[in-house]
Amino acid sequence: MKKILVTGGCGYIGAHTVVDLLENGYDVISIDDNSRSSNYLLDGIEQITGKKIKNYKVDLKNFDETLAVFQENEDISGIIHFAAYKAVGESVNEPLSYYENNLFSVINILKCVKEFAIPHFVFSSSCTVYGNPDVIPVTESSPVKKAESPYGATKQMGEVIVEDYAKASFCNAILLRYFNPVGAHPTILIGELPLDKPQNLVPVITQCAIGKISQMTIHGHD
């Protein structure tokens, strides 16, 4: 079986991706420092698939710790890099934290990609790279515009880093610019359950509906 490393495997999108990979015959390991997640989704993955995956509680900003994971798993054939801070509002208030976390992590992962000659790399980007688009809906050919937040800027910079590395190497890379992923696995064993106050629309709606938060704020005037 080909081994895939999923960074952020304890997160919402990462956990669903792990399930899909396992169901399609891949061996999977995860790196997640649990700073914005917990291991409860790993339990759901195991219940759904009958397989227990190993998560390395490693801070990707620490190169030596990151390198040790690759040294222990020299048969990694592909990486899907989800791990990142992702709250737009928080990024405005704590820009340096976002630049440090989101950029150092992708650089350290790509250093390992280079050292271990890993041929496939998927970067979890964001629709925020389109900034404030002139035409809605955007398409893959829509221009990238100035980011509206430090979070969006880290995704734009991350894309450039990945593109430049791919051009200079053998690595096949792809950028995923998705919008607002929502929903849960049909078993309801894994879904989106933020540890802190939710930042995404659907968790805000559902938590407001059950009274967990008192009100929902709609930003903008258009």
Contact 55, 30 (CB under 8 A): yes
Across the beta sheet with 76-81, the strand order is 54-56, 27-31, 3-7, 76-81, 120-124, 172-176
pTM, entire model: 0.92
Contact 12, 191 (CB under 8 A): yes
In the set 56, 85, 151, 165, the catalytic residue is 151
Q: Is 151 a catalytic residue?
A: yes
**CATH code of the domain occupying 3-191:** 3.40.50.720
Q: What is the pLDDT of residues 196-206, one digit of tens each?
A: 777 778 888 88
Q: Which residues pair with 80 in a beta bridge?
A: 6, 122
| pLDDT per residue as tens, the chain (222 positions) | 799 999 999 999 999 999 999 999 999 999 999 998 888 899 999 999 999 999 999 999 999 999 999 999 999 999 999 999 998 889 999 999 999 999 999 999 999 999 999 999 999 999 999 999 999 999 989 999 999 999 999 999 999 999 999 999 999 999 999 888 888 899 989 987 766 777 778 888 888 999 988 888 887 777
Q: Which residues pair with 6 in a beta bridge?
A: 30, 80
- What pLDDT, on a 0 to 100 scale, did the predictor assign at position 219? 74
| Beta strands 27-31 and 3-7, pairing class | parallel
Query: CA-to-CA distance for 209 and 202, rounded, in angstroms?
Result: 10
Q: What is the pLDDT of residues 63-116, one digit of tens each?
A: 999 999 999 999 999 999 999 999 888 999 999 999 999 999 999 999 999 999
For residue 134, give Cα distances in angstroms to 25, 77, 128, 143: 42, 39, 13, 9
- What pLDDT, on a 0 to 100 scale, did the predictor assign at position 195? 65
Query: CA-to-CA distance for 114 and 121, rounded, in angstroms?
Result: 11
Sorted by where each begins, the domain ranges of the chain are: 3-191, 192-222
DSSP letter, residue 32: -
- What pLDDT, on a 0 to 100 scale, did the predictor assign at position 193? 72
